Structure 1
Amino acid sequence: MSALEAMRARRSLSQVTDEAPTHEQLVELVSAAGRVADHKELKPWRLIELRGDDRLVLGRAIAKAQGDKGVNSKPLRAPLLIAVVARVKSKAIPAWEQEATAAGVAHALSLLLDEAGWGVIWRTGDWTRAKAVSKAHGLKKGEVLLGWLYVGGRPDRSRPVRGKVVDGERFLSAMPRKKND
């Protein structure tokens, strides 16, 4: 499948089965996703693999961040969550560029997971900046949680895929010119 075909076929799956890629399969995909554009090759990102009871730890942290007791069930919606962490490593490169690199890795990884046959959706929320959630992930100074890729098996794909066509003409324009240029 070409990159163009992969992008056109990509879709987020909010419901997945209990299957998930192995750690070894994930490592191979992460190695490829890490090839995104990266100013000064800082590698200003890291990923955290959450499986099994790790999801309960996150659920408790989210509940705490919301002022609730118990476990928030959202992290239990997929057998594998991949936390996407931006690591601001350089003052010479703007923080937004470093966060953009981490977001690029997440998007590339989601495409690779989709192409490999896995269901994936990128989830965010107010909790990504909550102290309890940061602590649960072991974030260090200069690290920011961007969200999680929820990954699992694809449910029955016999349903037709709704094609979301983006009108490229609508979002692409020429550089504006002054009358004297």
Structure 2
Amino acid sequence: MDALTALHNRVSTGKLTDPAPTEGQRQNLFRAALRAADHACLRPWRFLLVEGEARRRLGRIFLQAAEQAEVATLTDTQRQRTLDMPLRAPLIIIAITRLQEHPKVPYLEQHMSTAAAVQAMLTAAYAEGVGAYWRTGPLAGNPLVAEGLGLAENERIDGFIYCGTPESAPRQAPNLQVDAFFSYWSAH
């Protein structure tokens, strides 16, 4: 698939199953991420790969974090749903920003670079026929999750990218009207 076709048609694919992306597909996703816009070449991103039984361990970390964060006790259904979150796909890529002090590159821009890397991976996944979607939510910012994953003090989770084989053909990308989002500015 050519680059413009992938860029124009990429959509998230929510229903995923085995198998996980092949080693060749993974390398294409990873290489795409490393081409993200990156002011001062800080390379503020790093990624953790979670698959197999490690997904169940991640589910236990999610549950511990959710139980600590909740004011009320979780129901059995909520507990099971939280435990099963990492089982939504055979591979989870956790996007992490390593925040670095820099006189010209604020933290926000470093997070944006990680987001650009994630978007590049999502587009590469689409081009490779890999189903993928990006999630954040309260667990991404939970200190217990960060600790459980071994993140350093200066590291933040910017998302969980779920990857696998689509259970069905991807939906059609919405036909958004360019003029609704782009306009010319003139200084009068």
Same fold (TM over 0.5): yes
Q: Residue 9 of structure 1 corresponds to which residue in structure 2? A: 9
The CA deviation at 1:23 is 4.4
The structure where helix makes up a greater share of residues is 2
Equivalent in the alignment of 1:32: 32
The residue correspondences of 1:87-126 to structure 2 (distance < 5 A) are 87-92=98-103, 93-126=105-138
User: Which stretch shifts more, 86-95 or 20-29?
Assistant: 20-29
Q: How many Å apart are 1:112 and its aligned residue?
A: 0.6
Aligned length: 176
Please state how far the C-alpha of 1:22 moved relative to its aligned partner.
Answer: 3.5
**d(CA) in 2 for partners of 1:28, 1:10:** 16
Q: What is the TM-score normalised by the length of structure 2?
A: 0.86
Shift in Å at residue 37 of structure 1? Answer: 1.1
151, 155, 169: which is aligned to 2:167? 155
From 167, 172, 179, the counterpart of 2:182: 172
With a CA cutoff of 8 Å and minimum separation of 6, indicate the structure with the bigger relative contact order: 2
Most deviating of 118-127 and 160-169: 160-169
Unmatched 5+ residue regions in structure 2? 68-73
Instruction: Kindly indicate whether residue 147 of structure 2 is the aligned counterpart of residue 138 of structure 1.
Output: no
The TM-score normalised by the length of structure 1 is 0.89
Alpha-carbon distance, 1:56 to partner: 1.3
- Show CA shifts across 1:121-159 (max 9, x none): 1111111111111012211121110111100012232xx
**SS where residue 72 of structure 1 aligns?**
helix
Distance in 1 (alpha carbons) for counterparts of 2:118 and 2:50: 15
How far the C-alpha of 1:162 sits from its partner, in A, is 3.0
SS at match of 1:73: helix
CA distance in 2, matches of 1:113, 1:143: 25
Candidates 56, 78, 88, aligned match of 1:77? 88
Q: Which residue of 1 aligns with 2:48?
A: 48
Q: Distance in 2 between matches of 1:145 and 1:82?
A: 11
1:20 equivalent in structure 2: 20
Between the aligned residues of both structures, percent identity stands at 33
CA RMSD of aligned residues (A): 1.8
- Which residues of structure 1 form unaligned runs of 5+? none
Q: Distance in 2 between matches of 1:27 and 1:89?
A: 26
Which 4+ stretches in 1 moved above 6 angstroms? none
**Given residue 76 of structure 1, which amino acid in structure 2 is its aligned partner?**
L
Query: Quick check: 1:57–1:136 contact (8 Å CA) kept in 2?
Result: no
Whether the aligned pair in 1 keeps the contact of 2:32 and 2:117 (CA below 8 Å) is no
Contact 1:114 1:120 in 2 (8 A): yes
